[in-house]
Structure 1
Amino acid sequence: MAMDVKVAAFNVAHDYEGGVVQLAPLIGKNHNTLNAEVAGVGSAKLGLLDAVKITLRTRDFRILDAFNATCGRMSIPLPEMLDVEGDDCMRALADSSREYSELVSTTCSSLADDGWVSDNELKKLQTEAGQAISAINALMAAATRRNQAGKPRSAT
């Protein structure tokens, strides 16, 4: 069962250090207005662009995750946004191996007790799979940079 995007928005805004009082001015809103929007008070509604601002400002992806889950999708960080320095292939390889190992461990744990995958276990598996895919993408980006760096430059 997917988390409701309204619940996610409320939790992100209120879990931010200082809550809506601190977050609201950072996205150009009055704190009372933002509180009403994330709480769904009366006819107040949180707009899509404000949800993006909140996500970018807080670096909390629960709104995006809830939106994705509702739509049966998932997102992964782009390699350019990951913390993989330069062309460090070995670090990226270690990260991808660790993420895959966590996916295997989570899968085994979810099947161990009863042989079924609950809704919560499926959510954890989807998260672990996304992280493994992201780490593999980062590895491929590092390998591509290493490949390009090893090619002779053309004389012009």
Structure 2
Amino acid sequence: MSVLDVAHSVVHDYPGGAEALAVRLGMAASTLRSQVNPNIPTHVLGLLSAVRISQLSGDFRMLFSFASECGFVCMPCDGSISEVSPLMGLSSLMEAHGDVGVQVASALADGRISASEMDAIEDAIAANVTRLHSLAGALRAARRRGVCHAPA
């Protein structure tokens, strides 16, 4: 689905539709409807408005569609891990890394990788990457708190 179609869906899927979302954005509902209508090329949704819609709605399909159209993927960063120690973050990362190995080994056991096995591998890799970013967040938070450990 194109990013324009996704923007249309996000706005119209919002509880109360374009009318309710337009109020929160401080614009006329007719303007918002026109901006996300893929059949009206003269009215376009601005980038800052798209970001605000994503934030207000909690619906990030536009972000994922934009990334996909550009050949990228994006994933949420799990900010909750920054509230725990870096050691727990590292432990969580190692667990996710092990899950990647388990999924790959399991998929290769019969000499072929099925579609569902590939999905499981990609999910495990995504979790691993997310935990890498989470570990970085935990380390940044520890640094801000002045936490340090003596070298072993």
Please tell me the TM-score bracket, short chain as reference. Answer: 0.5 to 0.7
Give the Cα separation in 2 of the matches to 1:30 and 1:107: 55
Q: Alpha carbons of 1:115 and 1:151: their partners in 2 closer, same or farther (altered >3 Å)?
A: closer
Which TM-score applies when normalising by structure 2? 0.67
Alpha-carbon RMSD: 3.7
Amino acid at match of 2:133: N
Counterpart-to-counterpart distance in 2, 1:84 and 1:130:
16
Is 1:14–1:20's contact at 8 Å kept on the other side of the alignment? yes
When residues 59 and 103 of structure 1 are mapped into structure 2, their CA distance, relative to the original with a 3 A threshold, is farther
| Aligned pairs, number | 141
Q: What does residue 142 of structure 1 align with?
A: 138
The question of whether the paired residues in 1 share the 8 Å contact of 2:89 and 2:131 is answered with yes
Cα distance between partner residues in 2 of 1:13 and 1:78: 24
State, as a whole percentage, how many aligned pairs show the same letter: 25
Query: Is 1:84 matched up with 2:85?
Result: no
Contact residue 76 and residue 131 of structure 1 kept, 8 A: no
Deviation at 1:4, TM superposition (A): 0.9
Normalised to the residue count of structure 1, the TM-score between the two structures is 0.65
Amino acid corresponding to residue 60 of structure 1 in structure 2: D
Q: Which residues in structure 2 correspond to 1:89-104 (within 5 Å)?
A: 89=86, 92=89, 96=93, 97=95, 101=99
- Cα separation, 1, equivalents of 2:104 and 2:29: 40
**1:89-129 Cα shifts (integer Å, max 9, x gaps):** 465457543597489659968xx9x74659xx77x93x664
Superposed displacement of residue 85, structure 1: 4.9
Unaligned runs of 5+ in 2: none
Separation of aligned partners in 1, 2:71 and 2:104: 20
For residues 61 and 129 of structure 1, do their structure 2 counterparts lie closer, same or farther at Cα, with a shift above 3 Å needed? farther
